[in-house]
Amino acid sequence: MATAVHGPGIITELEPFTPGHRACSGCAEALAVRLAAKAIGNNAIIVNATGCMEVVASPFPYTSWRIPWIHTLFENAAAVASGVEAGLKSMEKKGKTPERNIKVVALAGDGGTSDIGLQALSGALERGHDFVYICLDNEAYMNTGIQRSSATPYGASTTTSPAGKESLGQITWKKNMPAIAVAHDIPYVATACPSYHRDLMKKVAKAVATPGPAYVHILSACPTGWRCPTDDAIKIGRLAVKTGTFPLYEVENGQYKLNLNLTKLEPVGNYLKMQGRFRHLTEDTIKEIQERVTQEYNKLVALASKSGEKASPE
């Protein structure tokens, strides 16, 4: 079925993630959580690793969640989610709680996923727990003041990969987390971006409905860390997708499918030049990044065409 990315109408009035949270002005990650929460619905338990979204949503004694929510450490969101899921299953089996098909959703940032929580995540995916893992990727440890993570893209200046005379910022390429999730042979992996809100909500809903583990990787702009005006948070996300820097795709049981049919990628410079963290890049570096982006995108196109799924027009 074609995935429509634009269209009028409020899909659901449900807001399990309430206003009053203390995210920075213009935070696309808070938006991603809000949209994901709408798609998850009320019948769920959220397990939240340390990170921006934990800190801004729970300044004690307040919470922005209307549904059960538990804070875990940085490294064990997936492990705690596994425990909650196994516990629920066992209680249902013993008749201690009625069967209500409660979904367990783990939320973690890019640091909590691709650095610190990777082994717990790998274990949970491998054991096949029935849960959804959502990685909220803003490409650095923004909560503690913009330190690089393994999800920080090549060339980005952060406080621990600062650009200067001798350094161009981050010197490694962004870790391909969705591919690592796919390698676990799980039923559903997807990438999403709040700039494509319908696509994001559809994917999260699909992940929730999938029996077994599902992984959704959401790229969300961080005006504070990416050094851009708050107004542009959505625009930048859209450019990340249109330049092919962050392609939107799904992998269902190993079958790749690109969600947007981009006949031509926009030049990656359009995306980079909107952000202060890439301000220092020379034309040569931008060319280098362009080559890498095109190469990675073509790999995806090849995988998708092998899977025989057609992308829907934008």
Partner 1 sequence: MTKSKLTEIRWHGRGGQGAVTSAELVAQAAIGEGKYAQAFPSFSPERRGAPVMAFNRINPDEPIRTRAEVDQPDVVLIMDPNLLSILDATSGLKEGGTVIINTKKSVEQVRKDFGISARLALVDANTIAQETLGVLIVNTTMIGAMIKATGVISSESIKEPFEKRFGRLAERNIKALERAVEETKIGEWLEMAKAKTKEKPGTKGELSWKEIEIGCFITKPGNSVEIKTGDWKSRRPEFDFDKCNKCTLCYFFCPEGCIAKTKDGYFEADLFYCKGCGICATECPKDAITMVEEAK
* Residues engaged in binding partner 1 (CB under 8 A): 8-10, 15-28, 30-31, 34-35, 55-67, 194, 197, 223-224, 229-235
DSSP string, the chain: --------S-S----SB-S---PPTT-HHHHHHHHHHHHH-SSEEEEE-SSHHHHHH--TT--SBSS-EEE--SS-HHHHHHHHHHHHHHHHHTTSS----PEEEEEEEHIIIIITTHHHHHHHHHHT-SEEEEEEE-SSBTTTT-B--TTSPTT---SSS-BSSS-BS--SPPP-HHHHHHTTT-SEEEEE-TTSHHHHHHHHHHHHHSSS-EEEEEE---HHHHT--GGGHHHHHHHHHHTTSS--EEEETTEEEESS--SSPPPHHHHHTT-GGGTT--HHHHHHHHHHHHHHHHHHHHHHHHHTPPPPP-
CA 222 – CA 226 distance, rounded (Å):
6
Instruction: Pick the closer one to partner 1 by CB: 146 or 260.
Output: 146
To partner 1, the closest distance from the beta carbon of 16 in angstroms equals 8
To partner 1, the closest distance from the beta carbon of 125 in angstroms equals 29
Instruction: Pick the closer one to partner 1 by CB: 94 or 100.
Output: 100
Instruction: Pick the closer one to partner 1 by CB: 218 or 300.
Output: 218
The token duo for 24 is 């920075």
Instruction: Pick the closer one to partner 1 by CB: 112 or 178.
Output: 112
To partner 1, the closest distance from the beta carbon of 248 in angstroms equals 16
To partner 1, the closest distance from the beta carbon of 253 in angstroms equals 30
Q: Are 18 and 42 in contact (CB under 8 A)?
A: no
Instruction: Pick the closer one to partner 1 by CB: 31 or 151.
Output: 31
To partner 1, the closest distance from the beta carbon of 22 in angstroms equals 6
To partner 1, the closest distance from the beta carbon of 206 in angstroms equals 18
To partner 1, the closest distance from the beta carbon of 152 in angstroms equals 20
Residues 6+ positions from 261 with CB-CB distance below 8 Å: 310, 311, 312, 313, 314
Instruction: Pick the closer one to partner 1 by CB: 66 or 279.
Output: 66
To partner 1, the closest distance from the beta carbon of 221 in angstroms equals 10
Instruction: Pick the closer one to partner 1 by CB: 228 or 303.
Output: 228
Instruction: Pick the closer one to partner 1 by CB: 169 or 194.
Output: 194
Cβ count near 95 (within 10 Å): 8
